[in-house]
């Protein structure tokens, strides 16, 4: 849930005037995305999503995010397209915060993806990688492998509070990941946060991807590693190999993985588990008692991390994936 910023009548009126969209027919705060405030706006001209960027989305990166979304839209990828105002500007300002209007997309996210959803999500991810090819913007991944050791350096106590003995295990993980992290796999623009709540389906088919505010340049197959963690673990913590194979097969139906990419997937998923564990651990410790937003419990990703640690990056999960 996320509506952090309220909008005054005058601000809404001024915004509509800048776009020439006429009178509002509906305007509702919606619970979509966790970092920013989102509103569903309907006017005679159609339906739009208004996003107000809160402090978690770095303002200097907005041109990259909005430029990417515009590029993807222009290349036929189903993602929210930023709407230029009458002067051609996509970046607005509301209540002192940056904001943008994007197209409304139909579709419904699923809480518990099926094998079929995993296949569709994999396909949607590969299509994103292909559609983004040639996009000239660049953004380094601020939460990439080289950032994990510095991020964890201030979280030792937090990790020990979560589970005594955990800090030492994480240190070992970080060391292993740093040594083994692949350096020569194909890179490109990745979504970096394609969790089930960021994918819309229509009638069981992939319909759209949203929330591009972690997108960056990194190893393409790492994006698939992120999805393996986000889509293929069951609520009881078990890893569903069939879903994993389906996700990868869906991906490969659009973009083939090299054998180096396929071999690296268990390790990339191990690293992806580390990345989400670390930010959730940081949020968990940093959230004051009275906050309006409940942070994700870091234990979910601690358990995924433990799964990959035990697998030692050696599991042949995807032997049949490209069959």
Nearer to its own copies, 26 or 180 (CB): 26
Tokens of 69: 């979304």
User: How many Cβ atoms from other residues are within 10 Å of residue 96's Cβ?
Assistant: 7
Nearer to its own copies, 26 or 74 (CB): 26
Q: Give the residue, chosen from 9, 60, 87, 236, that forms a contact with its own copies under the rule CB under 8 A.
A: 9
Residues 166-225 that bind its own copies (CB under 8 A): 202-203
Q: By CB under 8 A, is residue 60 in contact with its own copies?
A: no
The C-alpha angle with vertex 279 and arms to 288 and 65, in degrees rounded to 5, equals 105
Site string for its own copies, 291-310 (x = CB under 8 A): xxxx----------------
β pairing state of 205-209 and 187-190: unpaired
Dihedral (C-alpha) 28, 104, 207, 211: value to the nearest 10 degrees? -80
Nearer to its own copies, 6 or 172 (CB): 6
Of the candidate spans 110-118, 121-129, 255-263, 302-310, the one that interacts with its own copies by CB under 8 A turns out to be 110-118
Q: By CB under 8 A, is residue 106 in contact with its own copies?
A: yes
Rounded to a whole number of angstroms, the minimum distance from the CB of residue 56 to its own copies is: 18
Question: Sign of torsion, CA 177 180 183 184?
Answer: negative
Residues 6+ apart with CB under 8 A from 225: 265, 267, 268, 269, 270, 271, 272
The rounded distance, in Å, linking the Cα atoms of 159 and 140 is 27
Tokens of 250: 């869906």
The rounded distance, in Å, linking the Cα atoms of 186 and 139 is 16
* DSSP type of residue 112: S
Q: Give the residue, chosen from 14, 31, 74, 154, that forms a contact with its own copies under the rule CB under 8 A.
A: 31
Rounded to a whole number of angstroms, the minimum distance from the CB of residue 247 to its own copies is: 18
Nearer to its own copies, 286 or 291 (CB): 291
Nearer to its own copies, 29 or 188 (CB): 29
Q: Give the residue, chosen from 23, 87, 184, 236, that forms a contact with its own copies under the rule CB under 8 A.
A: 23
Chain residues binding its own copies by CB under 8 A are 1, 3, 6-9, 12, 23-32, 40, 42, 106-112, 202-203, 289-294
């Amino acid at each position: 849930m996320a509506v952090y910023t309220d909008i005054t009548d005058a601000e809404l009126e001024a915004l509509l005037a800048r776009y020439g969209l006429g009178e509002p027919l509906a305007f509702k705060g919606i619970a979509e995305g966790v970092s920013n405030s989102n509103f569903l706006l309907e006017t005679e001209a159609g339906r739009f999503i208004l996003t107000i960027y809160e402090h978690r989305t770095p303002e200097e990166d907005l041109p990259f995010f909005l430029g990417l979304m515009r590029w993807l839209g222009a290349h036929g990828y189903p993602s929210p397209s930023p709407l230029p105002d009458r002067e051609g500007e996509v970046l607005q300002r509301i209540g002192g915060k940056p904001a943008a209007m994007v197209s409304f997309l139909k579709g419904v996210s699923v809480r518990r993806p099926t094998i079929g959803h995993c296949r569709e999500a994999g396909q949607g991810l590969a299509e994103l990688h292909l559609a983004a090819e040639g996009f000239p913007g660049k953004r380094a991944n601020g939460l990439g492998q080289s950032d994990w050791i510095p991020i964890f350096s201030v979280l030792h106590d937090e990790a020990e509070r979560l589970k005594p003995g955990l800090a030492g295990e994480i240190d070992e993980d970080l060391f292993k990941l740093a040594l083994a992290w692949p350096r020569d796999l194909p890179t490109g623009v990745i979504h970096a946060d394609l969790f089930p709540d960021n994918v819309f389906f229509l009638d069981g088919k992939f319909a759209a991807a949203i929330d591009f505010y972690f997108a960056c340049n990194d190893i393409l197959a790492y994006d698939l590693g992120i999805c393996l963690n986000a889509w293929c673990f069951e609520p009881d913590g078990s890893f569903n190999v069939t879903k994993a194979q389906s996700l990868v097969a869906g991906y490969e139906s659009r973009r083939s993985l090299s054998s180096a990419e396929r071999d690296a997937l268990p390790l990339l998923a191990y690293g992806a588990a580390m990345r989400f564990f670390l930010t959730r651990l940081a949020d968990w410790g940093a959230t004051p008692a009275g906050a309006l937003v409940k942070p994700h419990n870091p234990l979910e990703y601690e358990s995924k991390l433990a799964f990959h640690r035990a697998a030692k990056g050696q599991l042949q999960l995807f032997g049949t994936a490209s069959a």
